[in-house]
Amino acid sequence: MFLAHPHHELEEESFRWHETRILVDRRKAKFSVADDKELQLQINGPICIEDFCERISTRDQYQLSLKVSDKQLHFVEWCEGARIWVPNTPSVSLSTILKNHKLSQKMKYLLSYLLAKSMWQFYSTDWLGKEWTKESIHLMFERRQSPKDAGIFLNEPFISAHFDPDNYTNDLDFRPHKFPKIKALGIVLLEIELGTVIEDHYDDECRAPDGELNADADLYVALKLFDDPDSLEDTFPLLKSVIGDCLRPSKFMQHRHSVEELRKVLQEEVANRTDAAVKDAANHTKIFLPSPCASATTTSPKTTTSGRITTSHIQIYAEAEVYVARVFESDEANDDTQDLVLEAIEHAKNVWQVDVISIASGFERDHALMRRAIKRAASDGTLVFAAASNYGNIRQVTFPARMQDVICIYCTDGRTKVSQSINPAAQTTKSRNFAILGEGVSVPPSIREQLTGTSVATSIAAGLAGRLLDFPRQKDCQQNIRCVGNLASVEGISAVFSHMAKGAEDYRYNCVLPGRLL
């Protein structure tokens, strides 16, 4: 697909693609009898650049057919095209897709495989003169299902290629990554898996005092995200290792000066392993999780008694059936506390069959079995809320609140402003950081004594979620609300919470104001 006017001086020209077919002469002999009625291909002489520009700029309904022979381009004919492309609609970059849409796991794996395979195939060609990024990977509008309805299909990405020479040769010796094209692939694969763009994770460390971005900031942030145990917790291990090899290219270093050897390693370590990851993932209904380190010293957010915090559930949603599992013997956790939390989660899911689990405590280290139990609960339609922690920036967001399958809750005051002395820093690995009232909360029967903390906020958020889940179950609402089942998922409830937080963002926190639903 060529732009009808790809020149900068003609940017104001109306947008239009021109579908083009280019045949490559393989120099095979073909014999035919004199009376052969088959239409023979009539090839004209070579065309110059001006002729080529004129032909792709022609407003024509038909596909342009060209042929490469003796390193020159020849015009063949106008022929009937596929008729599925929408020629007057701009393509959409992968960057735009990642910023505005959530990809399913199947879409992510398929797209990763196609890019990894194409990277190997075109590595030493002019099609990869410069590295492929989310800005150069595009998707076209197609009419696959009907002549009138156009859509984008991720199984056929396009590369917006500019045939400029590689200008990294003299600078690579001074860069931490010697293969910019492989680095770019690793970053794109990481962005696809996270469902975000790398720029969303830049912080002050990535910029010079004048505000300019530091060199290799993208690699620095990518490695930081890759090394975070929670960032790629849902990624199939084989694909995760491919991303790691692209970001830390030790396997490619000894082949640096041989393009053929480098392409062979790309085939074996990137293309083939990505292919295997996609096939393995297709055979699993649930994603296998590698066991993280389970040994940990534990902490508990500063809270008041669990009974009074539980009361806040009831105050938010009086009709709720509330079950309480006590896992702390004192204010501090001991060696058995995480195992008790695991038992409580499994009991709540399998015996009580709850819709919402609220975890008012947190731990510094992961617990592998608890992680798996939470993922099973979430995949079966149980919402899991957890407190971020109450120590400000002294400690990071605790486990399990930092899991992708958990809705992490921060604390706000009565004016829907974040409680800065309580909340830890917002997580860059999550697209939303929800905060709700948790400061100075009075819980009957005691009116004078007030509760404060992310544990209180988590209880309120869980109660609010209970109300939201119950509303579409009412008989007079069932016919008017579509996709009710989606609400019992992280994505579904986050969409509703995001609506309630619209216009109430405070720093990187999404402050939830329930009254927005009225």
Q: Report the length, in residues, of the chain.
A: 518
Lowest mean pLDDT among 64-68, 217-221, 437-441, 451-455: 64-68
| Count of CB atoms situated within 10 Å of the CB of 103 | 17
Query: Which pLDDT band, with edges at 50, 70 and 90, does 275 fall under?
Result: confident
Q: Domain spanning 306-517: which superfamily?
A: Peptidase S8/S53 domain (3.40.50.200)
Convert the pLDDT of each residue in 254-270 to its tens digit: 998 898 999 999 999 99
Question: At which residue do the structure tokens 């989660």 appear?
Answer: 345
Distance between CA 195 and CA 138 in Å, rounded?
Answer: 16
- Options 1.10.101, 3.30.460, 1.10.510, 1.10.10; CATH of 92-282: 1.10.510
pLDDT at 376 over 50: yes
CA distance 126 to 256: 18
pLDDT tens digits for range 471-492 = 887 777 766 666 667 889 999 9
Q: What's the mean pLDDT in 120-141?
A: 84
If pLDDT is split at 50, 70 and 90, which confidence band does 158 have? confident
State the burial class of residue 383 (Cβ atoms within 10 Å of its Cβ: 0-12, 13-18, 19+).
buried
- Residues paired with 418 in a beta bridge: 412
Boundaries of every domain in the chain: 2-79, 92-282, 306-517
Q: Assess whether the region 92-282 and the region 306-517 belong to the same CATH fold.
A: no
Q: What is the DSSP letter of 385?
A: E
Q: Which residue has the higher pLDDT, 421 or 71?
A: 421
The two counts, helices (H) then strands (E), for the chain are 14, 18
Q: What is the pLDDT of residue 294?
A: 28
- Going across the sheet that includes 20-24, the strands are 20-24, 63-69, 72-79
CA distances from 222 to 119, 174, 308, 481 (A): 19, 19, 43, 40
The pair phi, psi for residue 383, each rounded to 5°, is -80, 135
Alpha-carbon span 167 to 382, nearest angstrom: 52
Rg of the chain taking only CA atoms, in angstroms: 28
Tokens at 428, concatenated: 């860059």
**Cβ neighbours around 496 below 10 Å, total:** 16
Question: Is 340 or 160 the better-scoring residue by pLDDT?
Answer: 340
DSSP per-residue codes, 338-402: HHHHHHHHHHHHHTS--SEEEE---BSS--HHHHHHHHHHHHTT-EEEEE--SSGGGS-PPBTTT
The number of beta carbons lying within 10 Å of the beta carbon of residue 263 is 18
pLDDT per residue over 29-78, tens digit each?
444 444 444 434 445 667 776 777 776 676 666 677 777 777 777 777 66
Q: Which residue has the tokens 């692209």?
A: 246
Binning the chain into helix, strand and coil, the percentages to the nearest 5 are 40, 15, 50
Output the DSSP codes for 390-435: SSGGGS-PPBTTTSTTSEEEEEE-TTS-B-TTTPPPPPTTSS--EE
What's the pLDDT tens digit per position in 281-315? 654 433 222 222 222 333 334 434 455 555 555 56
